Amino acid sequence: MNVKRRVAVVGAGITLFRRRLKETGKELSYLAANAALESAGMTMDDIDCVVMGTAPDAFDGIHMKADNLLDGAGATRKPYSRVYVGGGTGVFSPIGGWWHIASGLFDTCLVVAEEKMSPCIPHPQTAFRTIWDPIITRPLNPNLVWIFALEMNRYMKTYNIPKEHIAMVAVKNKGNALDHPSAQLAAKITVEDVLNSETMVWPVQRLDISPPSDGAAALVLTSEDVARKFTDAPVWIDGVGWSLDSAYWTNRDLCFPQYVAEAAKMAYKMAKITDPPKEVDFAEPYDPFTYKELHHMEGLLLAKKGEAPKLTAEGVTQRDGDLPMCPSGGLLGVGNPIAAAGLMKCCEMFWQLRNEAGKRQVSGAETGVAQAWGDLMQVGTVTVFRR
Amino acid sequence: MSEKVKDLRGTRLSAADLESKDTITFRGRPNAKYAWSAGIAYTKYLEELKNGRIVGRRCRQCDRVLVPPRMFCEQCFRATDEWVYVKGTGKINTYSISYLDADANRIKTPILVAVVDLDGASPGIGILHKLGNVDIEKIHVGMPVQAVWKPTNEREGSVTDILYFEPIKEE
C-alpha cells in the first residue's frame, strides 16, 4: 500500500433522523453539508470537490438521485461523484473522499450522505422487491428480512448464542441514543421488552430491527497542510478498507462475515494496527439489526468468533466498558437513513475523538473504527479514525 | 452530534401530515415493465426443474458443484466444466419463520423459509426455498428434507416447480 498523503477530518454535521422529514433530499443534504462546513469554519469556496453517498434510488423514487441531490451538496460546477455499495455506502463515502485527497489530486473534499426512505409508501420494504435476482429468487416472493433472519439463526445455532444476549444490544443502543439529540428511537427498554416484542421473521423481533428513516450527514476532509490552517484538533483517517463477496449468499456459511474481516484487515494494515481489541478504543459497527453489531464485532476482529454476545453480556461494550460499541446509539437508536446512518457513525467518531460528544463521550478515546454493511449480505466498508 | 451544536436541523413530518391536504405532497408510481432472458445457465436449470431434476455446474479447478449453476466459477474466474445432477434431498442449513409478506404486511399463517444444502452439491452450497408439511416446533438446523414437486403437467420451468421441502420421514 502506497498512501501518498495523510487525510484529516475537520468538520462534521448531521440533521435530525426521523421516520419522515418535511425537507426534500436536496434540502436535507444542504442542512448537513452546511453544518459540517460551519463546524470546520469553512465555506463552499474552500471545497475542491464533493463526494455523495446515497443508497437505493428506489426509496427516494428518483432515478440516479445523486444528480438531483448535487445542488444540496454544494457540488455545482465542481468535480462530483457518487459512491454506492448498498447499505455499506455511508462508510464508503468518506473512503471515496479519502481517495481524492490521499492521491494528491485535491486538498479538500466535502462528503455528504443522504437518504429519504419515507417517499416509498406505505412501507419502503416494497422497494426491496427489485433487489432480488428476477430468475431464481423473485418467484419465491421473498421479503428482505428473511435473509437477515436466516443469517441470525445460523449465527445463533453455530455458536449456541442465547437470544437474551442479542437483545442486550437493543437495550444498550437505544439507551445510548437517549444522549443523541438527533435520535429517532432513543428509549429506556429492557431485555424482556425485546424478547416480548412482536415476532417479525423469527428470530428477528420488532425491537431487533432499526427503523426506516429520513436524514443526512456530512464530513469535511482535507490534506494535512490545509487541516493545520483550520484547526488545532484534526482527526485523521488512518485506515480504510472495503471488500465485497458474491451475491450467491446461499453458497457460503453465514455464521461469519468474511468480507467484513477482509475490509477490516486492509484498514488495520494501513493504520498499523496489529492487535485490534487492544489498539481500538471504541467502535461503531453497523447495527441495522441487534445481532449484526455482534456479527460485525467479530468480523472487525474485535472479538473472537461467537464471543461478542458474551462480551456484551459482561458489559464490555457499554459506553463505560473496556471496548464500547455504538456509543452514538447506532442505527437501532439514532435511526437508519441508510447512507446517512453509515456516515453518522463516522461523524460520531469525529466528535468522540475531539472530545465533543458531551454525555456520550467515551473517556480516553484515541482510536475508533466505523463499519457498514449491505447489499445481499456481501459488502463490508471500514474506516479507522485517530486523533 | 457535537455538544457545541445547539440547533437541530430538519422538520418532522407525521404520517398524517403526508396524507393531509394541508401539506403539499405529490404522488407517482413508476410503470416500468421488464422481460428477462434467463441466460445460459439458468435456462438449463429451469428446464431441468420442469423435468423434476436439479442440475448444477462443476468447476474442476476448485472441485465445487455449484447450485444454482453458473457458466463461470466466480472464485477461479474460469469457465465451469460440466453439468452435474444433484439430489432433491438435503439438510436445513438455516431457517426462519416469516410473519411478514413481501411488502412487510403482517400475515397470520407464517411462511417457512430455509437454506437447504443439497445432497450432491459441494458442502455449504445451498439454495433458498420454503418448507412445508412440517411441524414448526420440530424444524431444526441439520434436519433432512426432500423436495416436493408440482405435478408434472403443472410445472412451468421455475424455482416454484418445487413447491417446498418437507422432512424426510425417518424409518
CB A372 within 8 A of CB A87: yes
By DSSP bridging, strand A80-83 and strand B144-149 are unpaired
pLDDT of residue A294: 98
Question: Sign of the CA dihedral A223, A226, A228, A231?
Answer: negative
Of B3, B34, B101, the CB nearest to A357: B3
> Whole-angstrom Cα distance, residue A218 to residue B11?
18
Mean pLDDT of chain A: 97
Q: Is A121 exposed, middle or buried (0-12, 13-18, 19+ CB in 10 A)?
A: middle
What grid cell was written down for A99?
481517495
Of B42, B95, B159, the CB nearest to A140: B159
Q: Convert A155-174 to b/e letters by CB count within 10 Å (16 or more is b).
A: bbbbbebebebbbbbbbbbb
Residue in B40, B45, B29 with CA at minimum distance from that of residue B85:
B45
Residues of A in contact with B68 (CB under 8 A): 136, 248
Q: Cα torsion at A225, A228, A234, A238 (round to 10°)?
A: 20
pLDDT of residue A267: 98
**CATH class for domain A7-121+210-386?**
alpha beta
How many Cβ contacts (< 8 angstroms) between chains A and B? 177
The model's pLDDT over A172-204, given as tens digits with 9 standing for 90+, comes to 999 999 999 999 999 999 999 999 999 999 999
For chain B, give the number of residues. Answer: 171
The model's pLDDT over A35-88, given as tens digits with 9 standing for 90+, comes to 999 999 999 999 999 999 999 899 999 999 999 999 999 999 999 999 999 999
Residues of B in contact with A208 (CB under 8 A): none
Amino acid at B169: K
> Whole-angstrom Cα distance, residue B148 to residue B152?
12
- Residue matched to cell numbers 406505505: A122
The model's pLDDT over A289-306, given as tens digits with 9 standing for 90+, comes to 999 999 999 999 999 999
Residue B23 has pLDDT above 80, yes or no: no
Question: Sign of the CA dihedral A176, A178, A184, A189?
Answer: positive
Domains in chain A: boundaries: 7-121+210-386
Are residues A248 and B74, on separate chains, in Cβ contact within 8 Å? yes
Best to test chain B binding among A118, A121, A130, A136 (most B CBs inside 10 Å): A136
Average pLDDT over residues B106-117: 96
Of B9, B39, B103, the CB nearest to A123: B103
Residues of A in contact with B34 (CB under 8 A): 134
Of B5, B39, B96, the CB nearest to A35: B5
Are residues B10 and A215, on separate chains, in Cβ contact within 8 Å? yes
* Residue in A with minimal Cα distance to B75: A246
Are residues A182 and B8, on separate chains, in Cβ contact within 8 Å? yes
The model's pLDDT over A226-261, given as tens digits with 9 standing for 90+, comes to 999 999 999 999 999 999 999 999 999 999 999 999
